[in-house]
C-alpha cells in the first residue's frame, strides 16, 4: 500500500509534534511535513503544486492541517469593534479559512476512495458561535467559524465520492506554542505539543465515517457550532 500521511504546518509546535507522533505510530509509507517557505497557504499555485508532489510519493490517506494565525506583524486579537482593521482581518481569513480550503480543494480528490481516509483541520473553540459568551477576538473567531463551515460543507461533498472518508475540525485545546502562549490564562489546562498531538491522533484513530463534518475537541467530544 502506498498510503502517506501529510501534516500541513509541520514547522509549528503542534505540527512538528504531529509529524513525530505519526512517524512513531507507523502505518504509512511516508510522513510528509509541509510548511513555509515550501508551502504558503496564501499561494493557490503553491498549494496545488504541493498536492501534485505528494501524489507523486503516494496516496494521502491522512491529512492534518495544523496551521493558524492569531497574532503576528500587524495582527492582534481585537478587544472591541473599534480595533477592527480590514487588512488584519483579511490576513486572518487568508490563513485560517481560505488556506485550509485550498488544501481541501487539492488534497481531498487525491484521498483513497475504497478505504478509510481522514482529513482533519485544527480549528478553535473560540470559533464556536454557540459557545461565544465573552466576545472580542473578532477576526480569529470569525475566520475559525468560517473554517468550520468549510469543513462541514466539504464533508457533504466528499461523502458522494469517498463514502469511507472523514473530514473533521478539531479544537486541540490550549497548547504551549507561540500561537497561544501569551494569551493562555491562569487556570487553563495548558498542554505540551507532544501531549496534544497524542490526544488528537487517538481521537482520529477512533473516527468513523459518521463523524465526518463534525467539530470536536481533542478527546473527540462534539463542540457546539
Residue range(s) defining the domain that contains residue 39: 3-217
Instruction: Give the whole-angstrom CA distance, residue 100 versus residue 121.
Output: 8
Q: Residue 181 is part of a domain; what is its CATH number?
A: 3.40.50.720
Task: Let me know if residue 61 belongs to a domain.
Answer: yes
Task: Let me know if residue 225 belongs to a domain.
Answer: no
Alpha carbon 79 to its chain's center = 25
Instruction: Give the whole-angstrom CA distance, residue 149 versus residue 152.
Output: 5
The three grid cell numbers given for residue 218, joined into one nine-digit string:
481533542
Does residue 37 have a cis bond before it (omega within 30 degrees)? yes
Task: Let me know if residue 90 belongs to a domain.
Answer: yes
- Return the number of other C-beta atoms located less than 10 Å from residue 195's C-beta: 15
Task: Let me know if residue 48 belongs to a domain.
Answer: yes
What is the domain count for the chain? 1
Main-chain dihedrals φ then ψ at residue 17, nearest 5 degrees: -65, -35
Task: Let me know if residue 73 belongs to a domain.
Answer: yes
Q: What is the pLDDT along the chain (225 residues), one digit of tens a residue?
A: 699 999 999 999 999 999 999 999 999 999 999 999 999 999 999 999 999 999 999 999 999 999 999 999 999 999 999 999 999 999 999 999 999 999 999 999 999 999 999 999 999 999 999 999 999 999 999 999 999 999 999 999 999 999 999 999 999 999 998 665 555 555 568 999 999 999 999 999 999 999 999 999 999 999 999
Bridge pairing between strands 174-175 and 190-191: parallel
Task: Let me know if residue 52 belongs to a domain.
Answer: yes
Task: Let me know if residue 119 belongs to a domain.
Answer: yes
Is this structure's pTM higher than 0.85?
Answer: yes
Amino acid at each position: 500500500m502506498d498510503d502517506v500521511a501529510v501534516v500541513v504546518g509541520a514547522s509549528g509546535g503542534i505540527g512538528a509534534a504531529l509529524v513525530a507522533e505519526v512517524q512513531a505510530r507507523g502505518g504509512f509509507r511516508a510522513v510528509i511535513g509541509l510548511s513555509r517557505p515550501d508551502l504558503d497557504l496564501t499561494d493557490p499555485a503553491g498549494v496545488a503544486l504541493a498536492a501534485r508532489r505528494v501524489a507523486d510519493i503516494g496516496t494521502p490517506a491522512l491529512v492534518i492541517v495544523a496551521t493558524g494565525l492569531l497574532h503576528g506583524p500587524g495582527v492582534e486579537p481585537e478587544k472591541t469593534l473599534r480595533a477592527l482593521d480590514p487588512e488584519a482581518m483579511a490576513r486572518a481569513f487568508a490563513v485560517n479559512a481560505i488556506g485550509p480550503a485550498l488544501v481541501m480543494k487539492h488534497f481531498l480528490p487525491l484521498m483513497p476512495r475504497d478505504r478509510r481516509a481522514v482529513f482533519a483541520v485544527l480549528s478553535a473553540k473560540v470559533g464556536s458561535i454557540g459557545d461565544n459568551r465573552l466576545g472580542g477576538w473578532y477576526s480569529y473567531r470569525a475566520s475559525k467559524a468560517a473554517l468550520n463551515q468549510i469543513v462541514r460543507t466539504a464533508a457533504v461533498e466528499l461523502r458522494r465520492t469517498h463514502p469511507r472518508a472523514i473530514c473533521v475540525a478539531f479544537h486541540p485545546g490550549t497548547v504551549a506554542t507561540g500561537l497561544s502562549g501569551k494569551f493562555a490564562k491562569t487556570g487553563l489546562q495548558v498542554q505540551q505539543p507532544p501531549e496534544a498531538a497524542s490526544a488528537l491522533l487517538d481521537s482520529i484513530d477512533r473516527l468513523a465515517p459518521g463523524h465526518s463534518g463534525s467539530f470536536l475537541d481533542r478527546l473527540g467530544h462534539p463542540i457546539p457550532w
